[in-house]
């Protein structure tokens, strides 16, 4: 099964934006050179997520930053076999990708191809799309349909690498249909992953960590049930 790692810093370090007054593109590319070298032995099963949820930045400049990271990864691996997730802006919003982030579709492999460069999108289903509420209000199918249309028209694919919700009736109601939509449009959506389980305890409002060996309703009824398509 593929394993994904990412840099979880919102395109920032100590408040400065990478390549835009904060760390330099050279420093960021150097970080990815080290990470790719560390994990290259895992082969094509390793997925590299360039950055988690960039936001409030110049997208043209950010595209150049991402290009440098891609070059570093490909130069280490010597091929295009690994998936690299390409992040836009606005916290990788799926619903806003077409209006805000298409600049990053210009990022290419060193050989000029776009093989295994997958667009990285996130989406929460609460009222302000932030994932701060345990209640969901919409499946946002129309937004994902617009993204699907764009992907088909441009020969690209995306991964919904982060979504989730509270252990509530409303999130079960709206999350399951979204996963059905993504599964039904697998020609352009590579898949989806949910947030989050592991070290999170029961007090975290989006936890998917089993409690006393029992999964949450959202996991059981949506994520687990829809995993096989």
162 is catalytic: yes
Comparing CA positions, the residue from 82, 88, 159 lying closest to residue 116 is 82
With beta carbons less than 8 A apart as the criterion, state whether 119 and 104 touch: yes
Which is the catalytic residue, given 100, 103, 135, 162?
162
Which is the catalytic residue, given 53, 100, 103, 135?
53
CB atoms within 10 A of CB 167: 19
53 is catalytic: yes
Backbone angles phi, psi at 61, to 5 degrees: -65, -40
Contacts 24+ apart (CB under 8 A), 26-34: 26/68, 28/65, 28/68, 28/69, 29/68, 29/69, 29/71, 29/72, 30/72, 31/7, 32/7, 32/69, 32/72, 32/73, 33/72, 33/73, 33/75, 33/76
Catalytic positions are: 53, 162
């Amino acid at each position: 099964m593929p394993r994904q790692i990412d840099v979880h810093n919102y395109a920032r370090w100590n408040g400065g934006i990478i390549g835009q007054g904060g760390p330099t593109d050279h420093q960021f590319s150097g970080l990815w050179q080290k990470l790719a070298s560390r994990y290259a032995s895992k082969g094509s099963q390793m997925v590299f997520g360039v950055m988690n949820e960039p936001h409030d930045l110049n997208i043209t400049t950010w595209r150049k930053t991402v290009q440098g990271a891609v070059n570093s990864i490909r130069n280490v691996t010597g091929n295009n076999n690994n998936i690299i997730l390409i992040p836009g802006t606005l916290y990788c919003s799926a619903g806003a990708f077409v209006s805000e982030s298409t600049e990053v579709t210009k990022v290419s492999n060193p050989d000029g191809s776009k093989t295994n460069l997958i667009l990285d999108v996130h989406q929460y289903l609460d009222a302000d799309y932030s994932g701060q509420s345990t209640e969901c209000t919409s499946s946002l199918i129309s937004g994902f349909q617009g993204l699907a249309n764009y992907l088909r028209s441009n020969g690209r694919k995306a991964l919904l690498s982060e979504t989730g919700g509270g252990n509530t009736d409303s999130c079960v109601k709206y999350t399951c249909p979204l996963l059905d939509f993504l599964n039904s449009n697998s020609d352009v959506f590579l898949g989806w992953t949910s947030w989050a389980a592991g070290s999170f305890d029961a007090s975290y409002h989006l936890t998917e960590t089993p409690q006393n060996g029992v999964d949450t309703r959202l996991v059981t009824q949506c994520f687990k049930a829809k995993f096989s398509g």
